């Protein structure tokens, strides 16, 4: 009797104990792989709206964290679609889904937002600077491998020597105005500048007129095109590939200086003398077949001024050209001051007053025009300037970025910056009450935007201040105008060189989707992407329920089981005592 009672009591007690069956680290209560890890630390990342996002924002019974990247061709879209399906089965559950990128270099907030729209995801998608997001990967024990793919277009030829598409340094003309404003322009000689310089050198006479379509040349050296248009002066350019002259499709104002020629349109192009040497040259073939060529074998300060300054007056004299007016600022007749010519001396890095005239100062990288009373030591070096950009999103959605150089930066409002930038870049605009209504012929009500500095995730954002109140500062370096009905999402970054070649990368990572409790302790992980959505939902609900009823998942013996076990053992002892 005693042993029978003990057996009954023991059987009753054991039947009440919780039984756990371990399979590959997962107990039978969970569909995913059970984890025993410390809770995840809080981290601040950046969401798809460019807002800072704390991981532990708010309180929820269960949290789901997935790791994805938007250029993932197969796995990540499936995971995201699975989560979209899972959300539909979680009514009444206090949950939070979060997706975190493993490719922050590509996945900007704007890219993540587009990815969300494509897959119908509504939960936060987060990115951050690499250092910040790496800490999150480490907390979750996510392995991420990013490989830079070989790019063969790096400005190198096959000999291994570095090649450049542009010269390392630009030739510039700087102007210091009497009111203290300073600006600089690159020297860009066009065909008419070259014709003017060539005519001066070879004593040609040129008859020309200006119109809305540019400069029209009607006569050279007294050889005027007839009024009946039986022939006209035709501009030619030298094709270095075919080594032949060809009629230019551009006007004399639009074509760059180089090897150019003017001849009656009836002229056989093969009779125009071929250019000799590497220097730019201009050839004139008269209607009688005679020809003359002017070679520009040196660049003087007069040439540079023609190629850089929009408006200036430099009449000729027996001593050569001399500057009398720049941008409408004319030196006074009483010679209380005059325009003095300086050049940049590379050796001692300072501006030097030229002791020769503008026709005789040759082959200088940088020249400066300033009133003779100006202290040249107060003029900044040619490269000592700040570049602030002005972006435009036109009514048709096209975009442009304009560079603006500031040498003596003071307080400049957004509207002042706009006027300076558009003026420096020869862009027509209309402004009404410090708001732009037309830019380059594109009419609209334009809104002001500013470049918001957020490191790798800097972006354009709208400005609530007026263009008079918003100020250009070193920590807010760029403004933009966006047409009504458009946004700035396609406007390029003002901090990225448009000619820079960005190397492509290949990203791979351990594909894991985590279910965490309300304390951010990982409970279960689903590995891969082909997991069953229903099983996943069961685990999410179970994790949420465990948080709501914490007694259900304590590791100790349940209270009822303990009472039953104690009672059973007691009965066994009583039965044993009676038998004795």
> Which distant-in-sequence residues (6+ apart) come within 8 Å of 77 by Cβ?
119
Give the pLDDT of residue 287: 95
pLDDT of residue 457: 81
Same fold, 19-148+507-553 and 387-482: no
Contact call for residues 450 and 461 (beta carbons, < 8 A): yes
Burial class (CB in 10 A: 0-12, 13-18, 19+), 66: buried
Pairing of strands 479-482, 386-393: parallel
Q: Which candidate, 256, 230, 235, places its Cα nearest to that of 245? A: 235
The C-alpha atoms of residue 112 and residue 407 are separated, in whole angstroms, by 39
Provide CATH code, domain 387-482: 2.170.130.30
Structure tokens at 438: 């037309």
* Contact present, 105 and 147 (Cβ < 8 Å): no
Query: How does 449-462 read in b/e, with b if 16+ C-beta sit within 10 Å?
Result: bbbeeeeebbbbee
What pLDDT sits at residue 16?
Answer: 39
For 38, the 3-state DSSP assignment is coil
Give the largest CA-CA distance in the chain. 147
- What the block records as the tokens of 42 is 């809080």
d(CA 436, CA 419): 10
Q: Label residue 399 exposed, middle or buried (CB < 10 Å: 0-12, 13-18, 19+).
A: middle
| pTM of structure | 0.57
Under-50 pLDDT residues of the chain: 1-27, 149, 151-168, 501, 550-580
How many Cα neighbours within 13 Å face the side chain of 396? 6
Domain 172-186+301-378 in CATH 2.170.130.30: yes
Helix (H) or strand (E) holding 54: strand 52-54
User: Do 391 and 480 meet the contact criterion of CB atoms below 8 Å apart?
Assistant: yes
What is the token pair recorded at 247?
């009629």
pLDDT of residue 147: 61
CB 525 within 8 A of CB 30: no
Tell me the CATH number for domain 19-148+507-553: 3.40.30.10
Tell me the two tokens of residue 20.
């756990």
Contact 495, 460 (CB under 8 A): no
Residues 195, 236: Cα–Cα separation, whole Å:
13
Cβ proximity of 361 and 341 under 8 Å: yes
Write out pLDDT tens, residues 198-222: 999 999 999 999 988 889 999 999 9
* Domain boundaries of the chain, sorted by first residue: 2-12+557-579, 19-148+507-553, 172-186+301-378, 191-296, 387-482
Q: How far apart are CA 109 and CA 125, in angstroms?
A: 8
Q: Is the distance from CB of 517 to CB of 27 less than 8 angstroms? A: no
Distance between CA atoms of residues 480 and 461, nearest Å: 9
* Alpha-carbon radius of gyration of the chain: 39
């Amino acid at each position: 009797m005693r042993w029978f009672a003990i057996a009954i009591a023991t059987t009753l007690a054991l039947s009440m104990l919780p039984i756990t069956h371990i399979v590959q680290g997962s107990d039978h209560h969970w569909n995913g792989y059970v984890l025993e890890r410390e809770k995840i630390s809080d981290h601040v990342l950046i969401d798809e709206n460019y807002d800072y996002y704390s991981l532990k924002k708010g309180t929820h019974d269960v949290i789901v964290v997935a790791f994805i990247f938007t250029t993932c061709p197969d796995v990540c879209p499936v995971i995201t679609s699975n989560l979209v399906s899972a959300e539909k089965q979680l009514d009444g559950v206090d949950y939070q889904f979060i997706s975190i990128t493993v490719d922050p270099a590509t996945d900007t907030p704007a890219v993540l937002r587009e990815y969300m729209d494509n897959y119908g995801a509504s939960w936060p998608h987060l990115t951050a600077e690499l250092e910040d997001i790496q800490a999150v990967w480490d907390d979750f024990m996510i392995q991420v491998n990013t490989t830079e793919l070989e790019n063969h277009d790096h400005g190198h030829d096959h000999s291994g020597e570095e090649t450049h598409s542009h010269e390392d340094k630009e030739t510039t003309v700087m102007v210091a105005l009497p009111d203290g404003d300073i600006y600089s322009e690159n020297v860009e000689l066009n065909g008419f500048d070259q014709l003017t310089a060539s005519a001066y050198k070879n004593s040609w006479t040129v008859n020309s007129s200006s119109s809305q379509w540019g400069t029209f040349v009607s006569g050279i050296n007294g050889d005027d095109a007839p009024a009946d248009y039986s022939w006209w002066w035709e501009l030619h350019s030298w094709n270095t590939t075919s080594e032949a002259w060809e009629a230019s499709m551009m006007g004399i104002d639009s074509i760059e200086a180089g090897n150019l020629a003017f001849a009656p349109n009836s002229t056989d192009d093969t009779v125009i003398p071929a250019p000799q040497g590497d220097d730019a040259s201009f050839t004139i073939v008269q209607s009688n077949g005679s020809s003359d060529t002017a070679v520009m074998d040196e660049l003087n300060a007069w040439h540079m001024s023609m190629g850089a300054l929009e408006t200036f007056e430099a009449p000729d004299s027996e001593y050569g050209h001399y500057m009398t007016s720049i941008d409408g600022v004319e030196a006074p007749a009483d010679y209380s001051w005059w325009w003095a010519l300086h050049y940049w001396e590379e050796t001692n890095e300072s501006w030097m007053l030229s002791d020769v005239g503008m026709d005789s100062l040759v082959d200088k990288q940088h020249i400066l025009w300033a009133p003779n009373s100006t202290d040249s030591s107060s003029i900044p070096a040619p490269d000592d300037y700040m570049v602030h950009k002005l972006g435009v999103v036109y009514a048709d959605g096209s975009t442009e970025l304009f560079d603006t150089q500031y040498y003596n930066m003071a307080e400049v409002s957004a509207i002042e910056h706009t006027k300076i930038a558009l003026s420096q870049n020869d862009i027509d605009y209309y402004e009404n009450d410090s708001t732009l209504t037309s830019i380059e012929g594109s009419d609209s009500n334009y809104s002001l935007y500013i470049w918001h500095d957020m490191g790798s995730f800097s972006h354009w954002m709208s400005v609530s201040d007026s263009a008079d109140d918003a100020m250009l500062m070193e920590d807010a370096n760029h403004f933009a105008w966006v047409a009504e009905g458009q946004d700035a999402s396609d406007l390029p970054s003002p901090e990225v060189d448009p000619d820079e070649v960005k190397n492509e990368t290949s990203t791979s990572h351990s594909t894991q989707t985590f279910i965490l409790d309300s304390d951010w302790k990982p409970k279960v992980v689903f590995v891969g992407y082909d997991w069953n959505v229903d099983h996943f939902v069961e685990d999410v609900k179970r994790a949420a329920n465990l948080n709501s009823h914490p007694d259900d998942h304590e590791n100790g013996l349940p209270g009822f089981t303990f009472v039953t076990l104690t009672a059973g053992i007691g009965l066994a002892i009583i039965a044993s005592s009676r038998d004795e």
